[in-house]
Amino acid sequence: MFDRESRKFTENLFFEKGETVAVVTIQKGKEFLDYLVPKGGVATGAIVKVPIRNRIVLGVVWAKGLFSQTPYKKREISKVVNLPRLNVNVLDFLLSSSEYNIFSLNIAIRLCLNPSLNLEIPNSSYYYEMGDQKIQIQTSKRKRVLDVLSSKGKQPISKLQLRTKAQVSESVLRNLEEKGVIKKLLAKKTNDFSTIETSFSSTLSKAQKEISDQVRSQIKSKSYSTILLKGVTGSGKTEIYMDAIAEAISKGAQVLVLFPEINLSTTFVERLKQRFKSGFAEWHSSILKKEKRKTLIGVLDGSLKLVFGTRSAVFLPFNKLGLIVVDEEHDTSYKQEEGTRYHARDMAVLKGFYSNAAVLLVSATPSMETWVNTLQNKYRSEVLSERFGNATMPKVSLIDLGGRVHQQNHWLSKEIIEKISFCLSNKTQSLLFLNRRGYSPLLICEKCFQMLSCKNCDAKLAEHKLYNALLCHLCGTKYDIPKTCPSCHNQSSFIPVGPGIEKIEEETRRLFPSAKIEVLSSDHYQTPTDLKGCFQRIISGEVDIIIGTQVISKGHNFPLLSFVGIIDVDLALRGGDIRAAENTFQLLRQVIGRAGRFNTDGEAYIQTYFPKDPVMKAICSNNDEEFVMSQKNLREAAKVPPFGRMVALLISGVKHETAMSFAKYLVTQIFFLKDYGVEIFGPADARISKMRKKFRIRVLLKSSKNVAIQRLLKNALQKVRPPSGITLIIDVDPINFY
Ligand SMILES: [Zn+2]
Ligand SMILES: [Zn+2]
């Protein structure tokens, strides 16, 4: 029953032919449309096809029809798709996620059913057998069908084979089928996911074992709970959650593992293969449609027990979910920043709640949101404090750049240079980290100080020697490097300002001409396989010095790495958004955590102009608790997330004037929110005021958490239609403010 007050389902309902049901389709427009139930009846959650005007559209039966009378003639459901229906927990999750993120249920259904995959099981997956009923009126065609079937004995035959052998049309078969003379059966599993093997680790340390037992008993209880599994890089968190996965699967439940980026998948697949052999599926943007289709059907019919994927996998319709693991839960890649906005980690918790499943959030540096939830006892916390085996955490020192005379084109301090020499002579690896792609982030004319900008975006162009071009990091447009300054017409007057990793590479090669150097940013590889090759070279010791951006910070083991040099993170610290400090802290911990993961003692140097910054202090002292607590206090005082709610409205359009006047109108329409204590900031030009030829205007709403801002806003926005050419994006819990 669909309860309009709590907006929750409590049971599946069955409707007989002729009754009216509300269907949610994948098409934009009204959320609920009424249809008549066809012959055979239909239950809530059934996947159906319905007519809308002159098209047939995929949808899901949601509830009893909303209207006893409609202004239009009710039409019948065209087809009940031959797939298992969605459970009430899936429906509840979809509804709740659409309300939380302020998108329509139509979009939720779209995210869940991935209509482009063409879900239906093809006819070839059915086979025919003799039925229980005797034939009443014999015809030559019917006789041929029965002759073919009886000659096959107990052997099943596909529809195509049957039609060809008996030389009859489909309608003859359908007719015999309806009369029960022949039976159509779903072919035995089109996808065989049954090969998955479950086993438990036998090498857990005492600390690991204790946590593992806790987590496994939570899974056995088949009730909702979110557990934070915190442990430094290399402490053996993965072993614990692999056991949790095995526990859930051995109890017949399904498991979803989320990871932040495709790049991490290749390494992870290998670990999963070692443990579970086969019978699991991947879900991310590089997976072929054909595979995804199999996966989606396997998820629905319950034959597929383990899926691991990036954020969109959180919307897959698991009917029997027992565990969700969110690896690197603090990672901002979990936030969908294109199209429909949602945070996959938060959706995972919501999904776990409605599925009565355990949710395991895994991180060495948990997000503030998660950390505060553990303080408030909403989540449980399990901490692995030591590194596994003999490995230790690297010792971190700061190199204060303040007061040093900066020589042109020298970005490595003498301390870092000495340390690299030492590593080279000891045959261990060094890593230089700078989170800036290209050769130089900025070119400036030394005669007239003109800087070069992208014509589509409010962004300066970065110089990339790899492409011998200038590149806009917002829209990806490449430009030739101008020979003369477009402003003062001086020749070759542009000079690079500041380093990107290509410039660090140049300096490093000059200093260490015989060292083997691997440079790694998103520009240096094309596919996850390329990246894997690169990591292989590092792991097998073919590389002396690694120079990389944040690509190297995630998930990979570098067993030979003993030194990390951080060239510059000060820029990130001055980012000015509420998460700047937190994100810099997490990034540094991850990068430094690459060193000394095994038996090598690690060391790290950070070059900085702000040695007194709380982030720097926390990283050196290893006192995470104190840092996180101070950040928490700052946010609590400012009433910003997680101690308040924010919703961003982003208005964009090719014409600034139209976009701004719509934004102003929009604010008048939501002004009443102030009566509920909601603060409204803007409209104002966004920090990046133009991107991909479109002007961007922002409105930010800030409220306390006990205001139902989503519901209020959704109601208000239903009356507001952006004019043509203007896009309005709603971003609940925004993490980017540019
Ligand atoms: Zn100039
Ligand atoms: Zn651009």
Handedness of CA 440, 445, 450, 454 (dihedral sign): negative
Residues 6+ apart with CB under 8 A from 346: 100, 369, 733
Q: Average pLDDT in the 157-185 region? A: 80
Q: Which ligand is nearest to the CA of 493?
A: 1
Rounded to the nearest whole angstrom, what is the distance from the C-alpha of residue 294 to the centroid of ligand 1?
58
Burial environment of residue 621 by CB neighbours within 10 A (0 to 12, 13 to 18, 19 or more): exposed
Banded model confidence at residue 152, pLDDT cuts 50, 70, 90: confident
Whether the per-residue pLDDT at 603 is higher than 80: the answer is yes
Looking only at the bridges linking them, the beta strands covering 335-336 and 342-343 are antiparallel
Ramachandran assignment for 638, one of left (phi > 0), alpha (psi -120 to 50 degrees), beta (any other): alpha
Closest ligand by atom to 492 CA: 1
- 338 CA to middle of ligand 1, Å? 37
Q: How far is CA 484 from CA 448, 450, 490, 492, 721, in A?
A: 12, 11, 5, 6, 47
Q: What is the pLDDT of residue 117?
A: 84
Q: CATH class for domain 206-384?
A: alpha beta
C-alpha 499 to ligand 1 mean position (Å): 21
Domains 206-384 and 645-732 equal at CATH topology level:
no
pLDDT at 649 over 60: yes
CATH of domain 123-186: 1.10.10.10
**Strand arrangement of the beta sheet that strand 545-548 belongs to:** 395-400, 603-608, 561-568, 429-434, 545-548, 517-520
The predicted pLDDT at position 235 comes to 77
274 CB-near residues (< 8 Å, 6+ apart): none
Write down the CATH number for the domain with range 645-732. Answer: 3.30.70.600
Ligand nearest to the CA of 458: 2
Task: Give the distance (Å) from ligand 1 centre to CA of residue 443.
Answer: 11
Burial of 257 (0-12, 13-18, 19+ CB in 10 A): buried
Ligand nearest to the CA of 691: 2
Q: Residue 693 C-alpha to ligand 2 middle, in angstroms? A: 8
Q: Show me where the domains of the chain are located.
A: 14-117, 123-186, 206-384, 391-436+500-642, 437-498, 645-732
Q: Please tell me the number of the ligand nearest to residue 452's CA.
A: 1
Say which ligand is closest to the CA of 694: 2
Q: Which two tokens stand for residue 285?
A: 């943007």
pLDDT digits (tens, 9 = 90+) for 94-114: 999 999 999 999 999 999 999
Read off the pLDDT of each residue in 438-454 and give the average, rounded to a whole number.
90
Element at 712 (helix H, strand E): helix 709-717
Q: What phi-psi label fits residue 418: left (phi over 0), alpha (psi between -120 and 50 degrees) or beta?
A: alpha
Q: What is the pLDDT of residues 378-422, one digit of tens each?
A: 999 998 876 655 556 788 999 998 878 777 778 999 999 999 999
Q: pLDDT for 240-274, tens place per residue?
A: 989 999 999 999 999 999 999 877 777 778 888 88
CA of 648 to the centre of ligand 2 (A): 23
Mean pLDDT, the chain, integer: 87
CA of 112 to the centre of ligand 2 (A): 33
Q: Which ligand is nearest to the CA of 474?
A: 2
Residue 11 pLDDT grade (very low, low, confident, very high; cuts 50, 70, 90)? low
Domain spanning 391-436+500-642, CATH class? alpha beta
Cα–Cα distance list, 328 to 333, 361, 365 (Å): 10, 8, 8
Distant-in-sequence, close-in-space partners of 494: CB < 8 Å, separation ≥ 6? 443, 444, 445, 446, 452, 481, 482, 485
Instruction: Tell whether the model's pLDDT for residue 54 goes beyond 70.
Output: yes
Architecture of domain 14-117: 3-Layer(aba) Sandwich (3.40)
If one compares 393 and 691, the residue with the highest pLDDT of the two is: 691
pLDDT, residue 269, reads 80
How many CB atoms within 10 Å of residue 462?
24
- The span from the CA of 275 to the CA of 266, in Å, is 15
Question: Could you list which residues have their CB under 5 Å from ion ligand 1?
Answer: 445, 447-448, 450, 485, 487-488
Task: Give the three-class secondary structure for 190.
Answer: coil
HEC sequence for 565-608: EEEECHHHHCCCCCCHHHHHHHHHHHHHCCCCCCCCCCEEEEEE
Does a cis peptide bond (omega within 30 degrees of 0) precede residue 642?
A: yes
Distance 455 CA to ligand 1 centre (A): 18
Alpha helical stretches, state H, 20-113: 88-101, 105-113
C-alpha Rg value of the chain to the nearest Å: 30
| 706-720 average pLDDT score | 90
Please determine, for residue 630, whether its predicted confidence score (pLDDT) is greater than 90: no
CA separation for the pair 559, 595 (Å, rounded): 8
Distance 446 CA to ligand 1 centre (A): 7
